[in-house]
Structure 1
Amino acid sequence: MQFTVNGQRREVDVDIRTSLLDLLREHLALTGSKKGCDHGQCGACTVLVNGRRINSCLSLAVMHQDDEIVTVEGLGDPERLHPMQAAFVAHDGYQCGYCTPGQICSAVGMLGEVAAGWGSHVSPDLAAPELSTEEIAERMSGNVCRCAAYPNIRAAIAEVAEDGGLEAAPEPRRQEALA
């Protein structure tokens, strides 16, 4: 199968039962996405597929032929952080860090949903959703932080949203081919 991961066209041959998460971690050595619960309940494995956030543990790799996949590694690197990564650092939006890659990918995808005008269960006006603290909490409810860094995570997301958010899916940072 073929797809694009973090801006790089990839071709792999894997068992049809392989999850997208296992493909990323075990076959492409992209270990940023974490295997937390392996049941779609924690969000640690969240990645962006065609600009939309998904739990990669619940998705078979073969379902993503020709898709554009962005992992936390594709958002930025230590020399050039993505705005959401920089905001998480500035607001201490992590403690143990295990959930952080999924939180960041989910937050990027969530801001894209807000920019597209998608409401949530707590949106007071579906025609013009705003990003209140309640909205952020509701929209990020699929991502669990066992350390309870939620106030800092919400502050990081609010900062990026106030700075203009992310109008479209992120442009992935190109990665060199793995040997």
Structure 2
Amino acid sequence: MKTLNNIRQFVILSTLATAFVACDKEELPELGIEAEMNLAYEDLTFTVPASSLTGDIQVQLDVDPQELEDLIVSNGYTMDQLKEVRLTAAHLELIDGNGTFDALGQVQLRMFAAGGMEQLIAQVSYVPDNAISLDLETGGENIMEFFQLDDASIAVFGQVNEAVQEDMEVKASIAFRIVVSTSS
């Protein structure tokens, strides 16, 4: 009985050893292991100036794309390992407590870069009456290529449908999900 068990163990170990020798590193599939991080810009403030004019307005947000690279490097990765950057949340809120977003018909967040690159990344197509805060719908697109450029920027676009009686002080909060490949 003991000899039969030894023979079985020998056969199993021999088979495994042969399988390992037959495998070559180039034949092994890429494991595709990834790491996720979050990048949030919390107190981005801007002003929608009082005006009797209607039409489109654009306000640049003070977002530094270098913060993404700093986050990746501080976690032990490089920008070459970057696979995804997706907007996960976008929130606008009136700071002063007075007024509403009623003058606006719609609000969008867009990414820009040199050469005419532009992409819609979040929006509210209808602003509810008496709204003092807005949660924008995010599209979930991978906007990684914008963050790999030195001149990427984010702007808020608004469609002003009626006169803005007083300056609107607005705080924006946006968050991104970052994915890097852990294999080099």
Shorter-chain TM-score above 0.5:
no
TM-score, L = length of structure 2: 0.24
Q: Whose Rg is larger?
A: 2
Structure with the higher strand share, 1 or 2 = 2
Q: Which has the higher helix share?
A: 1
Q: TM-score, normalised by structure 1?
A: 0.25
Query: Structure with the greater relative contact order (CA < 8 A, sep ≥ 6): 1 or 2?
Result: 2
